[in-house]
Amino acid sequence: MLDYLERIALRLDVPLETLLAGAVGFGVLLLLFGLVAAVRRPDPAVARIAAISRSRGQDRRDRVFLMPADRGPGALMKAFIPSEKEKRSTLQRKLIQAGMTNPDAIQLYTLVRIGLAFGLPALFLALLGLARMSDPILPARLAELLQGLSTLRIYQTLSVLVAAGYFVPTYWLESRVRARKLRIEESFPNALDLMQVSIEAGLGFDAAMTRVGNELKRPSPEIAHEFLTVQYQVQAGRPRELALRDMAERIGLDSIHSFATVVTQSIRFGTSMAQAMTTYAEELRQTRELRAQEMANKLPVKMSAVMASLMLPALVMMTIGPVVIRYLRNF
């Protein structure tokens, strides 16, 4: 088999390592596509709703805002995805907060974790097997390093690779959630100002939210997506209070929860919506300024350890160094 691959590599005028790497990568891609196709199940209700009285181009743009009903894991994924709706909804909420609104996001996320947990050790074992061949095709230094590993070190490496492949996506998801929340939190006061201007210009709350969502597609796509999602749900017949509450749950910020409460109370009691938007935007800016001041006040404490570890040795050498040199010269 190896001789046949060497003949193919010579015929294609490429290194054998490149040919093997390309074949392994193509096989992994085929496996991932096969698993995704096996677990993915289209929702016919969402497809029918999206197809009613809309053009095909509008269907592709609007289907992003349609939230399908919660579906349990498929037959192949029941062993890896929690079957309890409460635990599954927690993971789904975390994925939505990261911006993954695909109905199959849980399945895809779980497949990535499983694929990395099994793929990284499999790749390491494949490299170990290639290194221990009689005629190794790996670079000499890499082959020597792999051949010098003991059995205990191999087991330790496999354990580390399994843990890294399974838990690294979790840390990546948490970092993506934090980054998305930060972008929304920084842009939300500007969105409130635009809503205030739109309301004062004579637009209703729903029309103002739709207009702001369309205007913010480029500068702040996260807020635009959430605003348009709320309006699509309201147009579909969902109560505005529930739609705003769902938006707050999807984002996961206290400021968005407060915004939903302010809007609901203003609509319920008939107070001025423009004044409510102005007041709340000012409060958000003050909160953001206080947070920046808090971070600035923490800098001296954080810098003290760095200054002590870097500047103190230099100061000690400058003060004691001449004395030590003079002492050594005398003796």
For 306-327, what is the mean pLDDT? 82
Amino acid at site 97: Q
CA 198, 202, 205, 209 dihedral sign is negative
DSSP 207-224: HHHHHHHHHTTTT-HHHH
Tell whether the model's pLDDT for residue 48 goes beyond 70: no
Q: How many alpha carbons lie under 13 Å from residue 29 in its C-beta half-sphere?
A: 6
Instruction: Using a cut of 0.75, tell me whether the model's pTM lies above it.
Output: no
Q: Say if CB 64 and CB 225 are below 8 A apart.
A: yes
User: For the segment 239-252, what is each residue's pLDDT rounded down to a tens digit?
Assistant: 888 888 889 888 88
Tell whether the model's pLDDT for residue 77 goes beyond 50: yes
For 64-78, what is the mean pLDDT? 53
More confident residue, 39 or 225: 225
> Which of 256, 311, 248 shows the shortest CA–CA distance to 280?
256
- 296-319: b or e for each residue (b if 16 or more CB lie within 10 Å)? eeeeeeeeeeeeeeeeeeeeeeee
Mean pLDDT of the chain: 79
For 13-23, what is the mean pLDDT? 70
* Burial (CB count within 10 angstroms: exposed 0-12, middle 13-18, buried 19+), residue 137: middle
What pLDDT does 284 receive?
Answer: 81
User: For the segment 173-206, what is each residue's pLDDT rounded down to a tens digit?
Assistant: 999 999 999 899 888 888 888 888 888 888 888 8
In the chain, DSSP finds a helix count (H) and a strand count (E) of 13, 0
More confident residue, 72 or 319: 319
Of the listed ranges 45-54, 100-109, 214-223, 301-310, the one predicted with least confidence:
45-54
What pLDDT does 291 receive?
Answer: 83
Tell whether the model's pLDDT for residue 56 goes beyond 60: no
